[in-house]
Amino acid sequence: MDILVAGATGNTGLRLVNELKRIGHSPIALVRESSNTGDLPSDIALRHGDLTDLQDDVCEGCDAVIFAAGSGGSTGPEMTDKVDRDGAKRLIDIAAKAGVKRFVMLSSAGAENADPDGDLAHYLKAKHAADEHLKASGLSYAIIRPVSLTDDHGTRNMRFGDDVDMTGKAARGDVAAVLANAVEDAEWTGRALLMESF
């Protein structure tokens, strides 16, 4: 499948691109003009676009889309809204119009019931809005909500759903594997699940 990856140059996105290639897909990295693409595989297709200002044809020819982007921990609420909420929603709308077969969303544990007084309240509210927009879009979707991320490769030992320890950890390598698998796995269709590594 030809799969557009938003956030392809990020810590999780780089792992995701390589995982998609490993299992036989053709990832297409959505990158800004200013993105550092040096760590991406040399043969990967690039598609230029900015999540704060996406063009209508950004999903053209894509079978699936994976949203693994984020505004980053050092940006303020305004950029969080522009990327994690509005950028995600716009990409969902474009994907739906383009007839994309599956949209996989990297969300976050807590997005479904964020603590309004917590440090991550604004971010989780933005993620929740994007998740709900995806659910209502008519697209076939999967939403993965990992607990606190680490930069580990992971062991592919993972738990999902109600069994997840909300104080646990999720290795980015494991998250990338789940995102890649969720593109085609029927078990993920129409589901939003918590995830942790163990």
Domain residue ranges in the chain: 2-197
For tokens 């909300």, the residue is: 166
Task: Give pTM, 2 decimals.
Answer: 0.96
pLDDT digit string, tens, across residues 84-117: 999 999 999 999 999 999 999 999 999 998 888 8
Dihedral (CA of 169, 172, 178, 179) sign:
positive
Residues classed as catalytic:
123
Fold of 2-197: Rossmann fold (3.40.50)
Rounded to whole angstroms, the Cα distance separating 11 from 16 reads 9
* pLDDT tens-digit profile, the chain (198 residues): 999 999 999 999 999 999 999 999 999 999 998 889 999 999 999 999 999 999 999 999 999 999 999 887 667 899 999 999 999 999 999 999 999 999 999 999 999 988 888 888 999 999 999 999 999 999 999 999 999 999 999 999 999 999 999 999 999 999 999 999 999 999 999 999 999 999
As to burial, measured by CB atoms within 10 angstroms (0-12 exposed, 13-18 middle, 19+ buried), residue 33 is: exposed
